[in-house]
Structure 1
């Protein structure tokens, strides 16, 4: 049997509001260089049941919201930041902004030794991007 990768770990699974899951896939491919591993449409032919992407070597799963299966209406994403530790924070940050992300915290050299900033994707999810400041370890 071919190695399918780790069988344990933690994988973010994002709910995308307003039936925009396929748009989210396109954004993550453009903004973060994601690779689409699979996409499964819902039986209604409109919504996205499930998608699996790889971003910077890690899995990211997403789906359109299905309010008929939850007790409470969801609110805008809040309280979670997805962090990308990358080789070149400026290149990753600039690519995300060019793809449509909004800057929350501009990139800067931080006291802990990283070049770090935050963006919000068009679907309301917060992402931080960082790498060691060049010349520091």
Structure 2
């Protein structure tokens, strides 16, 4: 199904959803539409806004709610100084109620395990994944047996 048919056009300014969270990650990934669809499957994200793709099939802006906060993403636009770079030096961390179930959901959706869920020295159960777009995600749950 084509992205333009699947997603409505940009809403008027007064209809735009609220931005959630104090710091909002904004990712530039190789295929923002596919990444948004993956985040819905893997992390239970909810899409709240998407501009239609341009003539070259690139999406300028997608807004998701993930785990109680906003995540924004777009395709690269090198002609505007926003080229694609390999993700490095950061990870996105989610505190979840059930790290084992959340981790399994992400792996089933296509994420690659970097560090299996395990009890960590600081007392959480914690694991790391890499999504198909190169972004590292970590998940944790306080260990009730600690």
User: Is the aligned partner of 1:51 residue 2:62?
Assistant: yes
Moved more, 124-133 or 74-83: 74-83
Matched residue SS, 1:28: helix
* CA-CA distance at 1:95 after TM superposition: 0.4
Q: C-alpha offsets along residues 74-125 of structure 1, whole Å, 9 cap, x if unaligned?
A: 3210111000001000011100000000011111001101000100000000
* CA-CA distance at 1:7 after TM superposition: 8.1
User: Is the aligned partner of 1:108 residue 2:113?
Assistant: no
> 1: CA distance between counterparts of 2:136 and 2:20?
27
> 2: CA distance between counterparts of 1:98 and 1:36?
20
User: Is the aligned partner of 1:27 residue 2:31?
Assistant: no
* CA-CA distance at 1:63 after TM superposition: 0.4
2:21, 2:69 within 8 Å by CA — same for their partners in 1? Answer: no
Which structure has greater strand proportion? 1
> 1: CA distance between counterparts of 2:70 and 2:86?
22
What CA RMSD, in Å, does the superposition of the two structures yield over aligned residues? Answer: 2.0
Q: How many residues align?
A: 131
Aligned residue number for residue 10 of structure 1: 23
Residue from 97, 105, 124 that aligns with 2:134: 124
> 2: CA distance between counterparts of 1:70 and 1:62?
15
> 2: CA distance between counterparts of 1:109 and 1:7?
30
Matched residue SS, 1:111: coil
Any residues of structure 2 matched to 1:36-75 within 5 Å, and which? 36-44=47-55, 46-70=57-81, 73-75=83-85
Moved more, 35-44 or 119-128: 35-44
* CA-CA distance at 1:8 after TM superposition: 7.3
* CA-CA distance at 1:45 after TM superposition: 5.3
The change in CA–CA distance for 1:105 and 1:22 in structure 2 (over 3 A counts) is: same
2:62, 2:72 within 8 Å by CA — same for their partners in 1? Answer: yes
